[in-house]
Amino acid sequence: MNLKINGSSLRKNTKNKFWWLKLGVTIVVTNILFFLLFSSPDSKVNEPRTPQGWVEFQVKAELLTPFQKGKKIIILNRKSQIFLTGMLEENSKEPDGRITVQVKDEDASKLIRYDMWEIIPDLKNFTLPKKIKGAVHEIRY
């Protein structure tokens, strides 16, 4: 008679142990799942700041678009009829109004050569008006 009581109590204890084991595994798995879902992207490996073939420049320019880091822009010089494509990188807090931009390596020399730049948003079909050589006269009747 003692064996029946011991056997039945042993069966109840193993069911209880398996239940605690399942609960523990479930808690661990859900914690791992929530960590993967809600972990910050800062913990991931940082990509290089500037893509290959691009350089960063600080340009003294008038910003004619809202500042957003990584936004595609057109850097325009109306006087010399030049425009370059680039990306906004950083807005300087200095009073001289310098803005850090990323441009292609081959276009970087133009930023040094000219001054009085304007920064506008990236427009699909942006073109500059052609310069008219010679005298332009309007005849009115």
Q: What phi, psi does 54 have (nearest 5°)?
A: -120, 155
Tell me, what amino acid is at 45?
Answer: V
Amino acid 130: pLDDT: 78
Residue 41: count other Cβ atoms within 10 Å of its Cβ: 6
CA 37, CA 31: separation in Å to the nearest integer?
10
Q: What is the pLDDT of residue 13?
A: 67
* 140 residue type, one letter: R
Structure tokens belonging to residue 20: 């605690």
For the entire predicted model, the pTM comes to 0.58
Residue closest to 58 by CA, chosen among 105, 110, 111, 95: 111
Cβ-based neighbour number of residue 29 at 10 Å = 10
Q: Spell 91-125 as b/e; 16+ CB within 10 A means b.
A: eeeeeeebbebbbeeebbebbeeeeebbbeeeeee
Token pair for 29 = 């798995």
Minimal CA–CA distance to 85: which of 99, 98, 72? 72
Q: According to the model, what pLDDT value does residue 10 have?
A: 54
Tens of each residue's pLDDT in the chain, 141 residues: 555 555 555 555 677 888 899 999 999 999 999 998 888 766 555 555 677 889 998 888 888 888 888 899 999 998 888 999 999 988 776 678 788 999 999 988 998 898 889 999 998 888 887 777 777 777 877
pLDDT at 24: 95
Q: What single letter denotes the amino acid at residue 90?
A: E
